[in-house]
Structure formats: C-alpha cells, structure tokens
Amino acid sequence: MKKPAAPLTPAVFHILLALADGPLHGYAIMQAVEESAGPTPPMGPGTIYGSLQRMEEAGLVKELPAPGDDRRRTFALQPAGRRALAGEAERLARLTALVRSKRLVPDEA
C-alpha cells in the first residue's frame, strides 16, 4: 500500500486550488485564496509568495515568463501540484466521512 502524502498546509492547499483553473498572477492568487479560505487566518503577500517559492522548488507550480514589460509574476499548476491537490481532496473527503460516521456532523439534505 502506498504511503499517504503529508497533509498540505492551508496556504499550499488554497494556492493549488486557486491555480486549478489556470495560471494566475500573484495578486489574483491572493484574491482567490481569500475567497476560498475566508479572512481567517489572513494570508498576506509574505505567506503567499513564500509558499509559492517553496512550491516551485518542490515542482508543484511554475513561474511563467512575463510577457513584454509586464512585471507581474504569474504561476501555473504543474502535474505534481495537481496530484497533490487531488490527494489532499481525497484525504479531506475521508476525514469528512469519518466525522459524519460518528454523527458529529449531520448528513447533507
């Protein structure tokens, strides 16, 4: 049996989720993360860009070349990032099912 991957940090999860539909520049990533994660805990530019740098080093995302004189940094999801996001979604679904089996959360109507 394959060893499950370590859980993703909230920042990494939400960044991968933001990039799942296509490349985005840093500010658009921050907006998408805020929309999916909500305001708590806040993830500022340092958290987002620090995570993006580590994610790029890990092969989860890739910075795309800027067209012309555009100074915005744009990032794209890589196959390893898509696999990591899918694995985390499966892990969270298993945990949700476990909690529901304990009757701690009512089933959806």
User: Is the separation of the CB atoms in 61 and 78 below 8 Å?
Assistant: yes
pLDDT at 3: 57
| Averaged pLDDT in 10-residue chunks for the chain of 109 residues | 74 95 92 84 85 96 84 93 94 88 67
**Long-range contacts (CB closer than 8 Å, 24 or more residues apart) made by 43-49:** 43/10, 43/11, 43/14, 47/11, 48/11, 48/15
Residue 89, burial from CB neighbour count under 10 angstroms (0-12, 13-18, 19+): middle
Which domains occur in the chain, in start order?
Answer: 10-101 (1.10.10.10)
DSSP state string for 59-70: TSEEEEPPPTT-
